[in-house]
Amino acid sequence: MEQSRSSSSQIEPPTYGKYITILTIDGGGIRGIIPAFILEFLESQLQELDGEDVRLADYFDVIGGTSTGGLVTAMLTAPDEHNRPLFAAKDIKPFYLDHCPQIFPQNSGLLGSIESASNLVIGPKYDGKYLHGILREKLGETRLGKTLTNVVIPTFDIKHLQPTIFSSYEVKKIPYLDARLSDICIGTSAAPTYLPPYKFSNQGREFNLVDGGMAANNPTLVAINQVSKQVMDGNPDFSSINPMDFRRFLVISIGTGSEKKEQPYDADKAAKWGSLFGWLKQGDSVPLVDVFQQASSDMVDYHISVVFQALNCKIRNYLRIQDDTLKGTAASVDVATEENLDNLVDIGQHLLDQPESGVNWETGQTVTSENGGEKNNKCGLEMTKSYSKT
């Protein structure tokens, strides 16, 4: 990988390199603005190393994303007319700032609050029409099997009550998974109470999808498992790799932030909510969805952290970048006011300069990592240099 890969149409299989490189992005609605800053920084560093035409899809064997992270994944990996990524990382933030106010139109005043509460009873908060239209416009007819590197996007099928993982590794063996990226992105972002479930058919298979965050809001473990499955299935691209040899993995997992340190809920408050409605509406949040998604993200981080620590890896194999200090509307998935969007921009910029952190699993609080708290941008740069030299 030392030479520029700007002319490559697809990434070389890991057989040609020392490591399996994985990038994942969590779900989180408009908070997708936060990882956009990390991605733009990483791509800019790779461009300094290998030339301005390179893109993140040239370096990662797998890019995975859930919900809003699934949308970002599609943007980074869908090909344009020249068979290069449709979006550069620097284009993601402007996309969110331009389109989120139309995806999540804000109702102001007392009537707006009444209408918002009413929608939680009679249907989702938003109809999703603008989101569906812009995804179909940008992604067109491109299907999963045409992405420029391997893609993993979790969804949840409410008809079968089980996850459906759209993996480009699987499309040859399971042809009905080779769906349009626009359909996959609409499905994985269909967050309950916010956007309507999405139904479509592909090659005779019907899908009834809701937000992939119901199964894997942090898709990192799903992405790793897809690679391990390819090893076990005898994929020749992985002929030199043991399925459990995590020392061959380099993983960057990017969260979309949470308000964990603010501790917005407790048992005393929740006991007074009583009916289901209380779990569906507390200020700008939906506690039931928050609980599912936070639990999913943290369990994945916990599992992967323990595995890599147990292997006593000699290099940095796993980097989780997350901000657990969001407050108020910044922690929402849909408050697309100009003020909140500007706030999320500031949070994304600030996160790059924060020291690397981890979770104290006894308290749930984020603490500075034991390595001395090197900044996220420096940690990410160290790993991208490893990618460039593989």
Q: How far apart are CA 231 and CA 229, in angstroms?
A: 5
245 belongs to the catalytic site: no
CA distance 215 to 166: 13
Catalytic residue among 211, 237, 323, 334: 211
284 is catalytic: no
Please state, in angstroms and rounded to a whole number, the distance separating the CA atoms of residues 193 and 280. 8
Q: How many Å apart are CA 129 and CA 190, to the nearest integer?
A: 12
One-letter amino acid for residue 261 of the chain? K
CA 258 – CA 107 distance, rounded (Å): 24
Q: Is the distance from CB of 95 to CB of 30 less than 8 angstroms?
A: no
Q: Beta strands 357-359 and 366-368: pairing type?
A: antiparallel
Question: What interhelical angle do 68-77 and 129-139 show, nearest 10?
Answer: 20
Q: CA 147, CA 166: separation in Å to the nearest integer?
A: 12
Residue pair 280/214 in contact by the 8 Å Cβ criterion: no
CA gap 356, 2 in Å, rounded: 27
Q: Give the contacts of 273 (CB within 8 A, at least 6 positions apart).
A: 279, 282, 287
Instruction: Look up residue 20 and give its two tokens.
Output: 């399996």
HSE value, Cβ hemisphere, 13 Å, CA-based, for 7: 2
The catalytic residue among 26, 50, 58, 67 is 67
Which pairing describes strands 318-321 and 249-254: parallel, antiparallel, or unpaired?
parallel
**How many angstroms separate the CA atoms of 92 and 345, rounded?**
12
The C-alpha atoms of residue 293 and residue 32 are separated, in whole angstroms, by 15
Determine the Cα–Cα distance for residues 134 and 136; give it in Å rounded to an integer: 5
3-state helix, strand, coil in the chain (%, to 5): 50, 15, 35
- The answer to whether 274 touches 232, Cβ cutoff 8 Å, is no
Query: Can you tell me which residue has the tokens 């040609």?
Result: 16
The pairing of strands 150-157 and 162-167 is antiparallel
Please list the active-site residues: 67, 211
